[in-house]
Structure 1
Amino acid sequence: MIPAAWERRHVLSLRDFTVAELDIVLQTAHSFQEVLSRRTKKVPTLQARVVANLFFESSTRTRNSFELAAKRLSADILNFAPGTSALTKGETILDTAKTFWAMGAEFMVIRHQQSGVPQTIAAEMDRLGGHVGVLNAGDGCHEHPSQALLDLFTLCQGFGSDRPRSESLKGKKVAIVGDIRHSRVARSNLYSLKAAGADVHLAAPPTLLPKEFDCYGATRHWQVEPALEKANIVMTLRLQRERMDQHLIPSLREYHQQFGLTRDRLKQCHPEVKVLHPGPVNRGVEISSDLMDDPHFSLINQQVASGVAIRMALLYLMGNYHTGPLT
């Protein structure tokens, strides 16, 4: 079904992903999207194999998307809820992970509010000598690989041929607007979009766009207009107030006035511009409600739909690494 060039047990970051690896994920997701369009949406690819969803941080889209992806692959699923777990009795995160390992989990999907937790768990699984694949579902302000891959998939479908390839974004201007400082989505998207050859521009108030982002190879703007000028793609990001430990913006109203995406602002972009948002959306803050719901511009619903196919692809590829070609 898929080229046998996949060599990753874990998917923790997109920082060192090659174009070839990005395209393997995109083409695998495309195959699974065809499966999801059938009346019978299930395949036996991971039958009787165990996927553990360890979400130490709340989530709607990512958690449910991974669970549905695992079910569509016929896997057995173990779901973890920190509020009713032994963590409340003093158990460590690593001991929790080892408990799931002892139960036979072969895949661990990890989401945590602290950066580095998925990497720590992956290192521990490797030390134990098992064949557990760890997938980072978002860690602190670090990365969110599967979200960036589904964003890439959504965009390549919009700009490419029937079979999405990352090269379809080469030379396209992408504006990422919002709370970039705290965004793991922005970091992962920067890696994948730059690898695909896109021209990436970042726009946010200075407090939400520190100088450290110069090293990502993107152009920084402290006003939104230069970033939007003739942009082919605009991605708005949520203000992550739960991660802010100080007042970084004067008010939500002022933020919307200066950086909120509206129909008037969109006139500066390319006429066929597409708009994305990883969710959850603060309507009337990052983006106006009417623009968010306009199918001519907005790809937000397509992003959600793409999530299941991308996460099926990642679980499939990681399973392929462990056992050889899957049927």
Structure 2
Amino acid sequence: MTAQTDAAGRLVHLLTLDGLPRPALEALLDRAQAFADGADARGALAGVAVCTLFFEPSTRTRLSFQRAAQRLGADVLGFDAATSSTTKGETARDTLQNIEAMGVRGFIVRHSGDGAVADLAMAAGPGTALVNAGDGRSAHPTQGLLDMLTLRQALGADFGARRFLIVGDVKHSRVARSDLHALRTLGARAIRVCGPATLLPDDGTLAGCEVVHDFDAALEGVDAVMMLRLQRERMEEGLVGSLEDYHRDYGLTPERLARAAAGAVVLHPGPINRGVEITDAVADGPQSLILRQVANGVAVRAAVLETLLGPR
């Protein structure tokens, strides 16, 4: 039993992909693929109230969760931290428990604090399910799932035959951590990581990965290039130089992409800094799966909500 499973091993929250058994991960991906293929689940969550409890800004994640919940027939409540009682000093735990007292069973939570969603899950009552929609730099499990679904659609389910490259600010990226957890669980043949030394973690996150600082060398022969957003506040912290220097060293262009394997695909979790980590020609090009990631986000999040809140 963990914070996200019950005594029978059933998923009651989705907090992280770290340690999630491969059968459970693949079951979520299979159900998400069914939704992507048009499976009808209207009414699966009829009468269930779900709240998007976001303490940080979001576009794709918030809206795709709302769309997924609506597709399942749930009642969706929005929460705006800027106009909520959190501005008066109310804690996240009190906020959750007060909304829970209104009969809300599902909470989709984004928070700036590492481990904040797991802490809230421990405070939730029986029958309440929490989904981590991104906490600090720790985890973004549904982004990891939608990335895996997108890769599986493009490259096939046998990740043991493929090479993957993650590029950019891995140190501060919850997306990168969830992707790494999922890739390892699914048996990726090789995982390369590339970025400035100041933006790569030294806490064991990259265990088993091949770290390559030369972007051109890192691209050689990979089947998927997973770009990360350069968080511009890192420039203010002195962790990177100018945007121009970053693009010169780590920006993905068509010429660089040609070094990857034939048919290699490009992913990016968004928002994109065009002309910094990726050029328009790549972001909008035939090898880009960025918009497919967004579409798959709805399918993945529907699968997660149905699994956690649907009939057992």
TM range (shorter): over 0.9
Partners of 2:154 and 2:146 lie apart in 1 by 12
- Opposite residue 166 of structure 2, the aligned amino acid is I
- Cross-structure match for 1:73: 72
1:308 is matched with which residue? 298
Q: Which piece of structure 1 moves more, 225-234 or 249-258?
A: 225-234
SS at match of 1:111: strand
Aligned counterpart, 2:127: 131
Match of 2:193 in 1: 202
Determine if the alignment matches structure 1 residue 25 to structure 2 residue 15. Answer: no
Q: Secondary structure at the match of 1:110?
A: strand
What is residue 88 of structure 1 aligned with on the other side? 87
Task: Give the SS at the match of 2:278.
Answer: coil
State the alpha-carbon separation in 1 of the partners of residues 300 and 119 from structure 2.
24
Asked if 2 retains the 8 angstrom alpha-carbon contact of 1:35 and 1:42, the reply is no
Which residue of structure 2 aligns with residue 103 of structure 1?
102
Mean Cα deviation higher: 27-36 or 189-198 = 27-36
Matched, 1:298 2:288: yes
Instruction: State the match for 1:163 in structure 2.
Output: none
- How far off is 1:244 after superposition? 6.9
The answer for the alignment partner of 1:235 in structure 2 is: 226
- Pairs within 5 Å for 1:271-290: 271-290=262-281
SS in 1 for 2:161: coil
Stretch deviating more after TM superposition (27-36 or 72-81): 27-36
CA–CA distance in 2 between the matches of 1:281 and 1:107? 30
Distance 1:86 1:102 in 2: 16
Q: Scaled by the length of structure 2, what TM-score is found?
A: 0.94
Range that drifts further, 215-224 or 143-152 = 215-224
- The aligned counterpart of 2:176 is 186
Amino acid at match of 2:248: Q
Q: Which residue of 2 aligns with 1:164?
A: none
The reply on whether 1:156 has 2:155 as its aligned counterpart is no
Secondary structure of 1:79 counterpart: strand
CA distance in 2, matches of 1:252, 1:210: 21
Q: Residues 115 and 245 (structure 1 numbering): CA distance in 2 closer, same or farther, change over 3 Å? A: farther
CA RMSD of aligned residues (A): 1.6
Task: Indicate the residue corresponding to 2:158 in structure 1.
Answer: 168
Take 1:87 and 1:250, find their aligned partners in 2: how far apart are those partners?
36
Q: CA deviation at 1:196?
A: 1.1
CA deviation after TM superposition for structure 1 residue 91, in Å: 0.8
- Partners of 1:189 and 1:106 in 2: how far apart? 28
Counterpart in the other structure of 1:270: 261
Q: Distance in 1 between matches of 2:307 and 2:207?
A: 27
SS in 2 for 1:170: helix
Displacement of 1:212 in angstroms is 2.3
Match for residue 37 of structure 2? 34
Matching residue within 4, 7, 10 for 1:7: 10
Q: Deviations over 1:260-309 (max 9, x none)?
A: 00111112110111000000000000101111101x21000100000000
8 Å CA contact retained: 1:6, 1:317: no
CA pair 28-244 structure 1, distance change in 2 beyond 3 A:
farther
What secondary structure, in the 3-state scheme, does the structure 2 residue paired with 1:255 have?
helix
Secondary structure (helix, strand or coil) at the match of 1:108 reads strand
Query: How high is the TM-score relative to the length of structure 1?
Result: 0.89
Q: Secondary structure at the match of 1:216?
A: coil
> 1:242: Cα distance to partner?
4.0
**Aligned residues of 1:262 and 1:291 also touching (Cα < 8 A):** yes
**Whole-angstrom CA distance in 2 between matches of 1:297 and 1:145:** 24
Three-state SS of the structure 2 residue aligned to 1:35 is coil
How far the C-alpha of 1:211 sits from its partner, in A, is 2.5
SS of the aligned residue for 2:50 comes to strand
1:118 aligns with 2:121: no
- Any stretches of 5+ residues in structure 1 without a counterpart? 161-166
